């Protein structure tokens, strides 16, 4: 039985990790931390876990966590995860970081987009980007996994088949339109996520300057192509899910049959499902699935790919557990095989 710890257990991502880890047959959650609620029973703060866990929230302590956990999930906000991740790696623990603190390859790029100086630039170079279906071999041998962001996961999984076949035109910008549920903004309320402002409303935000832009572009560079993006995220009045539409400029005209064949790269992937019509968030909510649909513009030189994921599932906690399974050499579906919520 593998002992794991969840650092930052009471946020939306930490809570989702605990929900999924409870049904994992080879894992025991040995420690949960929260700086705000240390000393309180976990289930007082997350009552949906009542009679499932008998743990008390603790303050973060690297030495203690390293002494009882084999793998640590760090579910802290950006900037807050930097030091704990470094400490735990130094103590020999394998770490899956769900913040953005180790997703970018350089301290300069991190500071530009997150307005914070990176304290451990050498560790940045050792982090493995945890987009499971693309970087599985590196993840298996990784000591620090930088779990992808939710928007980049939905976008990059849509883009990958076209990059793999060399069909993407790197001289033209990719247009990405993504609509997210409110949980993607985190559990701390802000003016933008306040109920009266989000109910019956759809708003674009951080247009052209969203922090996931460099992560998406670097994700494509890891696939082997340098492309700029035009990324517009929208906040929608739902709890969970991201529906992404990507407009891909192609180097040559292709047929509809070719588009369909490209998605077969995922035919043996347990969590990627090709759809014959536009995907729905209701089909992936609460799951680790990514549903993908593609079609071709009339010119034959622009492909339109749509993906649907649960931002807390495949976009965060689900993918993190999938990566843990890969690191341990286990079946990837362990703890993740259940379908999503319905209705």
Residue 200 sits in the same domain as residue 256: yes
CATH number where 78 lies: 3.40.50.720
Question: Rounded to an integer, what distance in angstroms lies between the CA atom of residue 28 and that of residue 16?
Answer: 15
Domain assignment present for 116 = yes
CA distances from 332 to 90, 214, 238, 274, 325 (A): 27, 28, 29, 19, 5
pLDDT tens, 291-325?
999 999 998 999 999 999 999 999 999 999 999 99
Domain count, the chain: 2
Last residue of a domain, one of 58, 91, 126: 126
Averaged pLDDT for residues 150-154: 98
Domain encompassing residue 82: 2-126
Same domain, 302 and 156: yes
pLDDT at position 189, please?
63
Residues 223-245 have pLDDT tens digits of: 999 999 999 999 999 899 999 99
Catalytic residue numbers read 150
> Residue 200 — pLDDT band, cuts 50, 70, 90?
confident
Tell whether 69 and 171 lie within a shared domain: no
Residue 187 pLDDT > 80, yes or no? no
* Residues 155 and 109 both lie in one domain: no
The pTM (predicted TM-score) of the whole model is 0.95
In which band, very low, low, confident or very high, does the pLDDT at 186 lie, cut at 50, 70 and 90?
low
Residues 156, 91 share a domain: no
Burial 232-248 (b: 16+ CB within 10 A, else e): bbebbebebbbbbbbbb
């Amino acid at each position: 039985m593998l002992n794991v710890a969840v650092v930052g257990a009471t946020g939306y991502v930490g809570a989702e990790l605990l929900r999924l880890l409870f049904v994992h047959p080879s894992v025991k959650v040995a420690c949960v931390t929260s700086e705000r609620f240390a000393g309180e029973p976990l289930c007082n703060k997350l009552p949906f876990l009542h009679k499932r866990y008998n743990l008390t929230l603790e303050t973060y302590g690297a030495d203690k966590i390293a002494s009882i956990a084999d793998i640590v999930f760090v579910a802290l906000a950006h900037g807050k995860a930097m030091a704990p991740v470094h400490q735990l790696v130094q103590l020999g623990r394998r770490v899956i970081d769900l913040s953005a603190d180790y997703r970018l390859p350089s301290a300069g790029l991190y500071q530009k987009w997150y307005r914070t100086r990176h304290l451990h630039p050498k560790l940045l170079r050792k982090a493995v980007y945890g987009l499971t279906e693309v970087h599985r071999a590196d993840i298996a041998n990784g000591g620090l996994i930088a779990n992808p962001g939710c928007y980049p996961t939905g976008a990059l999984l849509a883009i990958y088949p076209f990059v793999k076949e060399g069909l993407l035109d790197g001289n033209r910008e990719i247009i990405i339109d993504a609509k997210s549920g409110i949980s993607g903004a985190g559990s701390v309320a802000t003016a933008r996520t306040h109920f009266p402002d989000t109910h019956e409303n759809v708003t674009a935000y951080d247009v052209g300057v969203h922090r996931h832009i460099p992560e998406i572009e670097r994700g494509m560079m890891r696939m082997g192509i340098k492309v700029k993006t035009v990324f517009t995220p929208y906040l929608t009045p739902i709890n969970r899910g991201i529906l992404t539409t990507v407009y891909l400029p192609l180097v040559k005209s292709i047929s509809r049959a070719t588009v369909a064949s490209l998605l077969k790269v995922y035919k043996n992937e347990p969590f990627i499902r090709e759809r014959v019509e536009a995907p729905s968030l209701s089909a992936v909510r609460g799951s680790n699935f990514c549903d993908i649909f593609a079609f071709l513009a009339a010119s034959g030189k622009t492909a339109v790919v749509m993906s649907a994921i649960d931002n807390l599932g495949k976009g965060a906690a689900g993918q993190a557990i999938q990566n843990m399974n890969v690191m341990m050499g286990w079946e990837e579906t362990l703890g993740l095989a259940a379908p999503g919520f319905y209705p």
